[in-house]
Amino acid sequence: MLNRYFRLILSGLVGFSISGCNFAPITKRPHINTSRSYPNDAGGKPNDKLASENILELGWEDFFTDPRLKMLIQNALEYNRDLAGQFEAILQARGQYMAQRGMLLPQIGITEQAQFMDPSDAAGYSFAPGSGRSNPFFEYYNEGIGFASYEVDFWGRVANLSKAQKELALQNSENLRSLWLSILSQVANTYINWLEDRDLLILACETYLSQKHTLDLIQMTFNMGQADGLTVADARTQVEQSATQIAQASRLMANDEHMLTELVGGKMPEFLPPPRPLGEQTILRDLPAGLPSQLLNQRPDIRSVEHKLRQTNAEIGSARAAFFPKFTLSASEGNNALQFNHLFSKFAETWSLNPQMTIPVLTWGVNLGNLRTAESQAKQAASDYQKTALAAIHEVSDALTARETYLRQEKHTHQLVDATGRSYALAWMKYQEGIENYQIVLEQQRSFYNSQLSLIQVEAARFQNMVTVYRVLGGGWRKNGLLDAPVEKRDATKAEIPARQRPTWLRGWWEGDGYGKGF
């Protein structure tokens, strides 16, 4: 049984170590010099008090309405290599945090030792020269439990190192969220590009067939002597231009498919639902932008640099504690005897407690240099926080402004298509009646084709902008509209993703069962 006084002293020192001083500065969010609302051209309203949770409650499966796109996103979130690598970084940071946190308590071990020695006649025992020369043989037995060089954390040095590792683990969690949103938006935007290029290919094919038919008619009139060679050459030029546009659109579609294959992990799903027409990939209602100040809790990149700021402040506390005396403790309790049959008797019991204090006197600038380094890193983290927050507000403002302008641009482009279409039809009628030459028809045909091309591009850009607005406001982390527990209340050592919403490859590792189905 442990000696009563030994247990009291040991428990008191360990308890005081855990609840010691803390020299780390209090973390406060740096001031962001920005307006209370988004710019007027972005559709911002001074009195807009929409809750920031509005965008977070909208899961990606609710936002995206195209079944084919949903399946691609699900496969990307399960099999994407970048996400798998970032998740391993979280596990690494969590392991480092667990190892550092364990240093708050003594590392207790059991030792068993036996020593046998035959002293020399000239020197005796090696551990006590000059003694034991007349003894024929020496034996010694020892067993015990204890620890060595445990730092009693009076000044919070070890505790702050543990907190710094915890904040690092939280940084990696937020980086996973950022990468998650980035992969999701990349899949959606690449899919919209594929639909855009598909519509461009259809337009190019329709234009090619129309111009080929026109070429045949003009060739027929040329053979009859009713058209000149220049008209035939112009018609053939238009046919060849359409053929090159078909090849270009086909190449772009193939590139989009290759990008999607990479994003989903190297293999496309075998059975994909048919794609919906361009424009039916997302919900069409406007997303609530909220206020700029709400981005601080919505954007994972901002929360990541905030954890970085907390980490550097903890490192400052650890660097400050290095200026104070360091207390270490070694303790053991057990039995020792010169004969093995006496080792477990009550007379063989022993215990030891060895406190030690080290006072830094001449460190030649080591402690001061570490402190200045930590303080400089904290200032850098504060600047990074302000820079990231301002960049996020800028990004949201740009996306909201684009949302407003794309709507007007699409409206006018529709009107442009109607106008150029009527002009082309009138020019063709006049050509058939012999009033206009074929050059006018070609000009109107090019204008009509270019306006149709612009309409497809503007529509694709507007739908991609909707995806961008959803991403920059922090949406897309949840699969559907279910809220998890607030991030501030989560432990860095616990899972950040609910089991029902985790991809397959996350479920296995997070629950300790090795790689999941995704691998």
3-state secondary structure 88-115: HHHHHHHHHHHHHHHHHCCCCEEEEEEE
Classify burial at 320, counting beta carbons within 10 Å of its beta carbon; exposed 0-12, middle 13-18, buried 19 or more.
Answer: buried
- pLDDT value of position 49: 45
- 283 belongs to a structural domain: no
Q: CA-to-CA distance for 299 and 401, rounded, in angstroms?
A: 19
Q: CA-to-CA distance for 284 and 67, rounded, in angstroms?
A: 16
Q: Which domain holds residue 130?
A: 4-29+66-271+299-482+499-510
- The CATH number of whichever domain residue 446 belongs to comes to 1.20.1600.10
Name residue, tokens 């006649």: 121
Using CA atoms of 151, 157, 158, 161 in order, give the dihedral in degrees to the nearest 10: -160
- Angle at the Cα of 385 from the Cα atoms of 315 and 96, rounded to 5 degrees: 40
Higher-pLDDT residue of 18 and 230 is 230
Asked if residue 451 lies in contact with residue 277, where contact means CB atoms within 8 angstroms, the answer is: no
- Give the mean model confidence (pLDDT) for residues 171-188: 91
Q: pLDDT tens digit string along 439-465?
A: 788 888 888 989 999 999 999 999 999
Asked if residue 62 lies in contact with residue 480, where contact means CB atoms within 8 angstroms, the answer is: yes
- 35 belongs to a structural domain: no
Asked if residue 146 lies in contact with residue 109, where contact means CB atoms within 8 angstroms, the answer is: yes
- 411 belongs to a structural domain: yes
Q: CA-to-CA distance for 441 and 435, rounded, in angstroms?
A: 11
- 353 belongs to a structural domain: yes
If one counts the domains in the chain, the total is 1
pTM higher than the cut 0.75: yes
- 211 belongs to a structural domain: yes
Write the CB contacts of 124 (distance below 8 Å, at least 6 apart in sequence). 130, 131, 132, 133
- Angle at the Cα of 237 from the Cα atoms of 235 and 238, rounded to 5 degrees: 65
- 47 belongs to a structural domain: no
- pLDDT value of position 196: 92
- 95 belongs to a structural domain: yes
- 278 belongs to a structural domain: no
Q: pLDDT tens digit string along 345-397?
A: 888 888 888 889 999 988 899 999 999 999 999 999 999 999 999 998 888 88
- pLDDT value of position 298: 79
Mean pLDDT over the full length of the chain? 80
